[in-house]
Amino acid sequence: MKTTIEDDLGVLIARDGSCACPDVVTDGGRESRTHLKEIARAGNLFFIDREDPFRMSVQVVAGEEPPPGFPTELYRTVGGNYLLNLPSGALKVQGLDSWIAGKPESTEPIQLEPGAYSVEALELESHDLTEYEGYMSKLVGSDNWAFRGRVDRLYLLGCLPTAIALVLAIFSTLTLGLYAGLTAAVLWLPYLILTRSRRYRAIDEKVSTTECGLPLFLLHLRKLRDPEGIIGGYI
């Protein structure tokens, strides 16, 4: 299941459908967060605290492995594996403010086998350039990815003479600035032409669509035969 969660209090909750919000949790303040941590340590819910209001996409996977084709190489485990008890088997994912207010969730609960689960949170790792380029290269084809990279580098080639032209026009003679500007225009042309080509636009659209479709978090649940030794938690 993939869903988008909004929360003004900055907290994402994963819980059993029978787990009601306690009266002591009234807002996103320090005291309420302390009570949430106690409930989480007992394994009765799991939460992600982003501290600030958010709107983010979350994908929930139940089973041993993520679905085929899911780019796990772009994600890193945050924290560890935590206990999550689901006595009714109905997993609900929502924001803290909607849980406090008793508002219905934006998506239907995920019905699983009742029992104890381990939950692992994986976050999209936006700084791992090597993994990102490797994934995108496989997605669009190595030749297409290399072509896109060459075109994008032409942008940098046009930036330098443009900056030089501006400096010369301000601090030197207008004639030198004009010549530098013409040089910059010539260097910009290949970039402008290629970025409007059908091939580049198709590659760029596929990359953009893929990036927009990647969830920020993956919650991976696994059924536990014996929950002893595993404690609940939060990140």
Together in a domain, 161 and 216: no
Residue 28's CATH number: 2.60.34.30
- So what's the pLDDT on residue 146? 94
Together in a domain, 6 and 91: yes
In this structure, is residue 136 part of a structural domain? no
Is the pLDDT at 130 greater than 90? The verdict is no
The larger pLDDT score, comparing residue 183 to residue 100, is at 100
**Which residue, 114, 126, 78, is CA-closest to 224?**
114
DSSP 49: E
Cβ-Cβ contacts under 8 Å for 34 (sequence gap 6 or more):
none
Is the pLDDT at 5 greater than 80? The verdict is yes
Together in a domain, 116 and 172: no
In this structure, is residue 163 part of a structural domain? yes
Cβ-Cβ contacts under 8 Å for 60 (sequence gap 6 or more):
1, 2, 3, 14, 91, 93, 110, 218, 219, 221
Together in a domain, 164 and 79: no
In this structure, is residue 19 part of a structural domain? yes
Is the pLDDT at 128 greater than 90? The verdict is no
Where residue 231 falls among pLDDT bands split at 50, 70, 90?
Answer: very high
Is the pLDDT at 174 greater than 70? The verdict is no
Together in a domain, 39 and 107: yes
In this structure, is residue 153 part of a structural domain? yes
Together in a domain, 83 and 166: no
Q: Using a pLDDT cut of 90, give the percent of the chain over it.
A: 45
**Element at 92 (helix H, strand E):** strand 90-95
Is the pLDDT at 162 greater than 90? The verdict is no
Is the pLDDT at 102 greater than 70? The verdict is yes
Together in a domain, 32 and 121: yes
Together in a domain, 83 and 25: yes
Tally of domains within the chain: 2
Region 101-120 average pLDDT: 86
In this structure, is residue 134 part of a structural domain? no
Domain limits for position 184: 141-210
Q: Using a pLDDT cut of 70, give the percent of the chain over it.
A: 84
Together in a domain, 50 and 95: yes
Where residue 113 falls among pLDDT bands split at 50, 70, 90?
Answer: very high
Beta strand 2-7 with 45-49 is unpaired
The larger pLDDT score, comparing residue 43 to residue 186, is at 43
Report the mean per-residue pLDDT for the chain. 85
Together in a domain, 57 and 149: no
In this structure, is residue 228 part of a structural domain? no
Strand partners, 60: 219
The larger pLDDT score, comparing residue 197 to residue 31, is at 197
Together in a domain, 120 and 157: no
Ranked by mean pLDDT, which of 52-61, 109-118, 164-173 comes out on top?
109-118
Is the pLDDT at 101 greater than 90? The verdict is no
Together in a domain, 124 and 152: no
In this structure, is residue 20 part of a structural domain? yes
Q: How many other CB atoms sit within 10 Å of the CB of residue 81?
A: 18
The larger pLDDT score, comparing residue 190 to residue 110, is at 110
Q: How many other CB atoms sit within 10 Å of the CB of residue 216?
A: 20
In this structure, is residue 229 part of a structural domain? no
Question: pLDDT by residue (tens digit) across 57-85?
Answer: 999 998 878 878 888 889 999 988 999 99
Where residue 163 falls among pLDDT bands split at 50, 70, 90?
Answer: low
Where residue 116 falls among pLDDT bands split at 50, 70, 90?
Answer: very high
